[in-house]
Chains A and B, each alone.
Chain A
Amino acid sequence: MATTDTPIDPEEYKKVTEAMYKQNLELARLYKQVEVLNNDLGTANDSLKELIKQRENLVHLVTHKVKGSFTRSKYIFAGILDGTFGEVNTEIKKRAEQGLESDNMGIETVDLVLSVANMQKGIVKYDMKEMNLKEIVEKTISEKLMPAEAKGLKIETEIKEPEYKILGDAFWLKEVINNLIENSIKYSRTGSILVKMIRQDAKVLLSVKDTGIGISDEDKKNLFTEGGRGKDSVKINVDSTGYGLYSVKLIVEAHNGRVWAESEGVDMGSTFFVEIPLI
């Protein structure tokens, strides 16, 4: 580098020093602003944490209370049906059956909300074991054949390989598959449901394709979000909680997997995909 022997002019030196000071001062001001914003953010974060904690406590309290009420009335209806309270006429029996079914649905919903709350808190313990995902899929399909047939729907499968070995929790994965097939049944008026499993790279790709109401672009955004109920879906399934697909997402992600949905649009059917690493 070239150097010069010319001494630095003291006036020039002062100008440069002052200019640098002004630049530093601006930086110091920015730093202070960032510090204030950081503090505000920290306070907001603390408030948010407190709110989340309060909400969690409220969810637990309400759901336990509601579940307790459902359980008590369930046993009353069951008692009516099994003759605990003596002979009852056909009309009362019919009403008791309806009541029992309604209570069971209520308990199922409360359990789902509780499970999601526990998943969010990270207190769900997954019992990860080596397993064949195909077995769970086939078992779930066999349980869903009757409700599908009752609606005039056909469940078809395309599962070529004898096994798809993964590391997973059988209980929670069954919930995932159950949820996807159940949704396909609920949201399809006619046609069929195709459950497919393929090996893709080092993963198993499970898809559940239906000929149902499809998903609008607007609803796609809310599909896997907490409480995300689609505009069109509530027309068909008034009992939709908006927690089903959200729980699917949480469970699949806990298995290092991915879940997504595709649909050409309203009334064009939907396909839900679950991808989980193979071992």
Chain B
Amino acid sequence: MNPTLQFPQIAIRIIKEQALVIGPLAWSEASKVTGLTVDESQNSASFSGDSKDVVNRLVAQYERIFGKASHAVCHDAVQDLISQMSPEEIPSSLK
């Protein structure tokens, strides 16, 4: 699949999985990430700049507040999506 289409899916999957744990806070924390625009009502995310960096920043945003456990949640949430990507396309935080 085209990585440009894949990254918004990855971001949405991560946010939704975090929302299962911390509730709507997951969306408000995601909206603070530079280069990421989210719309909870539409379940959508759009990127500006390097998509891989944006995903890494999103993962870091959760980890900064909630610790390593939240990093593992992000990683597990997107396993099926990143398995279809080539290693160089996968954001470092999800490897």
A18 and B69 form a contact (CB under 8 A)? yes
Contacts of A24 in B (CB 8 A): 21-22
The DSSP consensus for interface residues of chain B is helix
A22 and B69 form a contact (CB under 8 A)? yes
Tell me the total A-B contact number using a CB cutoff of 8 A.
26
B20 and A21 form a contact (CB under 8 A)? no
B21 and A17 form a contact (CB under 8 A)? no
Q: Measured between alpha carbons, how far is A25 from B70 in the docked complex, in Å?
A: 9
The residue that B70 contacts in the complex, of A21, A27, A31, with Cβ under 8 A, is A21
| B73 CB within 8 Å of chain A | yes
User: Closest B-chain residue to A19, C-beta based?
Assistant: B67
B21 and A28 form a contact (CB under 8 A)? yes
User: Closest B-chain residue to A31, C-beta based?
Assistant: B20
B20 and A17 form a contact (CB under 8 A)? no
| A14 CB within 8 Å of chain B | yes
A25 and B67 form a contact (CB under 8 A)? no
User: Closest B-chain residue to A25, C-beta based?
Assistant: B21
A: interface residue count bin: 10 to 19
User: Closest A-chain residue to B20, C-beta based?
Assistant: A28
Contacts of A17 in B (CB 8 A): 65-67
Greatest chain B CB density within 10 A among A18, A22, A25, A32 is at A25
B64 to chain A, nearest CB (A): 9
Contacts of A32 in B (CB 8 A): 20
A274 to chain B, nearest CB (A): 54
Contacts of A27 in B (CB 8 A): 21
Greatest chain A CB density within 10 A among B21, B22, B70, B73 is at B21
Q: Measured between alpha carbons, how far is A24 from B23 in the docked complex, in Å?
A: 10
A13 to chain B, nearest CB (A): 10
In A12-38, the 8 Å CB interface with B consists of: 14, 17-18, 21-22, 24-25, 27-28, 31-32
A25 and B65 form a contact (CB under 8 A)? no
Q: Measured between alpha carbons, how far is A24 from B25 in the docked complex, in Å?
A: 13
In B52-68, the 8 Å CB interface with A consists of: 65-67
In A24-67, the 8 Å CB interface with B consists of: 24-25, 27-28, 31-32
The 13 listed contacts between A and B (C-beta, < 8 Å) are A14-B67, A17-B65, A17-B67, A18-B67, A21-B21, A21-B69, A21-B70, A22-B67, A22-B69, A25-B21, A25-B73, A28-B20, A28-B21
Listed from nearest, the 9 A-B pairs whose CB atoms lie closest are A18-B67, A21-B66, A28-B20, A24-B21, A28-B21, A25-B21, A22-B69, A21-B69, A25-B69
Q: Which residues does B use to contact A, with CB under 8 Å? A: 20-22, 65-67, 69-70, 73
